[in-house]
Amino acid sequence: MNITELARILKVPTQELRDKLPLIGFDIGQKAIKVDNVTAQRIIREWPILIKQLAAKELAAKKTEAVSAISTQEKPEIKIPKFITVRDFSIITGSPINKILSELMKNGIFSSLNEKIDFDTAAIIGADLGLNIIPAEESEAKAEADADILKQVLSQENQTDLMARAPIIVVMGHVDHGKTKLLDAIRQTDVVAGEAGGITQHIGAYQIIHQNKPITFIDTPGHEAFTAMRNRGAKIADIAILVVAADDGVKPQTIEAFRIIEAAKLPFIVAINKIDKPEANLDMVKRELGEQLNIIPEDWGGKTVCLPISAKNNTGINELLDMLLLTAEMEAKNIQANPGSSASGTIIESHIDRGQGPVATVLIQNGTLSVGDPMIFNGLFYGKVRALEDYTGKNVKEAKPAMPVKIIGLKMAPVIGDILQIGQGEKIKASKIFSRTGETAKPAEEKKAAADVKNINLLIKSDVLGSGEAIEGSLAKIDQEEVKINIIAKGLGNITEGDIARAEGSKAKILGFNVKMTPQAQRLAREKNVEVKSYKVIYELINDLKAEVDSLIESKMVRADLGRMKVLAIFRTEKSSQIVGGRIIDGKVEANSLIEVMRDKQIMAEGRLAKLQIAKQDVSVVDVNQECGINFEGKPVIQVDDILQFYKMEKEKK
């Protein structure tokens, strides 16, 4: 086979192929014009694996060089643990987040703000940015990795100061199994009617009083796009409710939700919802819980409480609340806090309000948060609390443990999952506000893609940080080698003329989630022919992108080996064909197959199966150990005892 033909099949430039072949074990020489068929077929077959191994070696070499170069530089040392989020790396080094993302992309790494990178990668990026990155001491690295601020806060409290607080309940389960409807029944509100498609779009926290005792609920969305948000919800909860529909049973997100509950070591109750439906089948649900999750209900001899409920008809709700309070009593030692301390808690929602500026919902886990308190996130001072609102929108002066409140007075919006503390911290520089909000972030430099890689450039605008984060995480899952999804910019708020101009310059399309488009932006989008799509349900956005990625992936032809035949007789030999007989020694033979003639493990000729017969009758398939006759079209070199390898070229599934 000609080298140029082999390069064309592999979709690489000929000279690049000559350069890479020796590096992956095929030293054919720089001036070689042809490669023997056996070697060529092996190269084609093993190319994807070998080229990935080569890329890994080159990256490892680059990492080693970078780390080595850093050790000799005389620059201020920046200590980095074994793993660090991109956002924290930006804060520690003082480098703009868009610059870090750009350098990561240059090295073939597409990361989001909250994804972790290892030390070697951080060292490479640091070297590219002119920084001297060194590993933190083992104790520092361990402290960085294992530190749990909230646990530390509680462990430092005097046991005599600890008091019982409201239990925090997380509601989890498969999409459309009635989680939000259950909360509606509990708090007598109608959240579902305000949610697009009847599906919860953001994390919310609510508090009720039952039997004169407060209970806090966290509502976590059920769709897979919110896995990260749901994980955070589970980490700050005391007890979980796993909701399963009586008419639908255990589904993928049911299993996923249970794994999160299991990993967080939360006590839980199963609420079997929708028992009002005619097709409800409690026994089926309990059987699936046992078979798929090893959850054995109490009435079947197990230890798990499984309560039948109907959120729609308000059936079984009081029994569920009673069981939650009983479970909380059993976990009383773990459900305590000191209301007299300075506040600490977890951010469960964050966005920019047109009238109030950056606002965030925090769930207080220890201490009391008061108006005027100075707020710290990740060691940075975010401003003083100007006002607090409870979940009903009512102004309050303070928030005690297990109480969710909206904070007004932030200099910038924190990230969901950030830990709020009270005290003095480093003042935020303008560059850090610029890099963290994403509102004015400049597009990162795009990585030079290979000629055969297609790119989908996106500019994403969302209403709150949680939604943007969930979209970004989901898009990372559908990224392909052949099609790269590049988020050139993302931000909060409505789509403006500036977004249209930025998208036009980057040849990007704009995706809006729960945001509007200004009239001026609409006109400019039409003039500049910029595609803008708006969504209210996240999985519709993800499904549209999946479809676009699939449409751009070209189907490749791949070889599928069928079987082998040992030649027992030669019946006729023509100028360009032969009729031979033999026995199938493995696999099978199909009509219209391609054939390789093998002798002493060498390919002697290639051809096509023109006719396949058993006892002079045409057949379409011959199985192993059967004898048959074939009409071989190709160079007539077949001899008795040769092995014929049958195969087909098929389109590879996307």
Span 143-168, pLDDT tens digits: 343 335 666 677 777 888 889 999 99
Q: What was the pLDDT predicted at 142?
A: 38
HEC-encoded secondary structure of 134-167: EECCHHHHHHHHHCCHHHHHHHCCCHHHCEECCC
Model confidence pLDDT, tens digit, residues 253-264: 788 888 888 877
Name the nearest CA neighbour of 178 among 165, 163, 161, 195: 195
Query: What confidence category does residue 223 fall into, taking pLDDT thresholds of 50, 70 and 90?
Result: very low
pLDDT at 509 over 90: yes
Residue 539 tokens read as: 């999985």
**Spatial distance between the Cα atoms of 195 and 183, rounded to a whole number of angstroms:** 13
**Spatial distance between the Cα atoms of 111 and 108, rounded to a whole number of angstroms:** 10
Q: What was the pLDDT predicted at 369?
A: 95
The larger pLDDT score, comparing residue 192 to residue 299, is at 299
SS3 107: coil
The larger pLDDT score, comparing residue 17 to residue 460, is at 460
* Tally of CA atoms within 13 A in the half-sphere of 414 that contains its CB: 28
CA 247 to chain centroid, in Å, comes to: 29
Name residues whose C-beta falls within 8 Å of residue 503's C-beta, 6 or more positions apart in sequence.
Answer: 457, 459, 488, 509, 510, 530
Task: Return the exposure string of 474-508: e unless at least 16 CB atoms fall within 10 Å of the residue's CB, then b.
Answer: bbeebeeeebbbbbbbbbbbebbeebbebbbebeb
DSSP for 321-354, written as a single string: HHHHHHHHHHTGGGSEE-TTSBPEEEEEEEEEET
The model's pTM is 0.51
Q: Is the dihedral of CA 559, 560, 562, 566 positive or negative?
A: positive
pLDDT at 504 over 90: no
Model confidence pLDDT, tens digit, residues 92-125: 777 888 788 888 777 767 667 667 777 878 888 8
The larger pLDDT score, comparing residue 395 to residue 69, is at 395
Mean pLDDT for the stretch of residues 469-479: 76
Q: What was the pLDDT predicted at 146?
A: 35
Model confidence pLDDT, tens digit, residues 23-52: 888 877 777 788 888 888 888 888 888 887
Model confidence pLDDT, tens digit, residues 511-523: 999 889 988 899 9
- Going from the N-terminus, what domains does the chain have, and what CATH number goes with each? 3-71 (no CATH), 73-146 (no CATH), 162-336 (3.40.50.300), 340-421 (2.40.30.10), 454-552 (3.40.50.10050), 557-651 (2.40.30.10)
> Of 128-142, 289-303, 337-351, where does the model show the most confidence?
289-303
**Spatial distance between the Cα atoms of 23 and 86, rounded to a whole number of angstroms:** 33
Q: Is the dihedral of CA 433, 434, 436, 437 positive or negative?
A: positive
Q: What was the pLDDT predicted at 63?
A: 62
Element (H, E) at 282: helix 282-293
**Spatial distance between the Cα atoms of 551 and 544, rounded to a whole number of angstroms:** 11
Cβ burial, residue 191 (10 Å; 0-12/13-18/19+): middle
pLDDT at 440 over 80: no
Mean pLDDT for the stretch of residues 446-474: 72
Residue 246 φ/ψ, nearest 5 degrees = -65, -20
Model confidence pLDDT, tens digit, residues 310-358: 999 999 999 999 999 999 999 998 899 999 998 998 888 877 776 777 8
* Residue 108: DSSP 8-state: T
**Spatial distance between the Cα atoms of 362 and 348, rounded to a whole number of angstroms:** 6
Chain length of the chain: 654
Residue 186 tokens read as: 């509990």
CA dihedral 613, 617, 618, 619 (to 10 degrees): -80
Query: What confidence category does residue 555 fall into, taking pLDDT thresholds of 50, 70 and 90?
Result: low
Task: Return the exposure string of 154-181: e unless at least 16 CB atoms fall within 10 Å of the residue's CB, then b.
Answer: beebeeeebeebbbbbbbbbbbbbbbbb
DSSP for 570-619, written as a single string: EEEE-SSEEEEEEEEEEEEEETT-EEEEEETTEEEEEEEEEEEEETTEE-
CA distances from 579 to 525, 618, 634 (A): 67, 14, 11
> What letter represents residue 348's amino acid?
I
**Lookup result for tokens 């911290």:** 425
Mean pLDDT score of the chain, rounded to an integer? 81
**Spatial distance between the Cα atoms of 430 and 410, rounded to a whole number of angstroms:** 14
Name the nearest CA neighbour of 649 among 602, 617, 606, 619: 606
Q: What was the pLDDT predicted at 140?
A: 41
Q: Is the dihedral of CA 415, 419, 422, 425 positive or negative?
A: negative
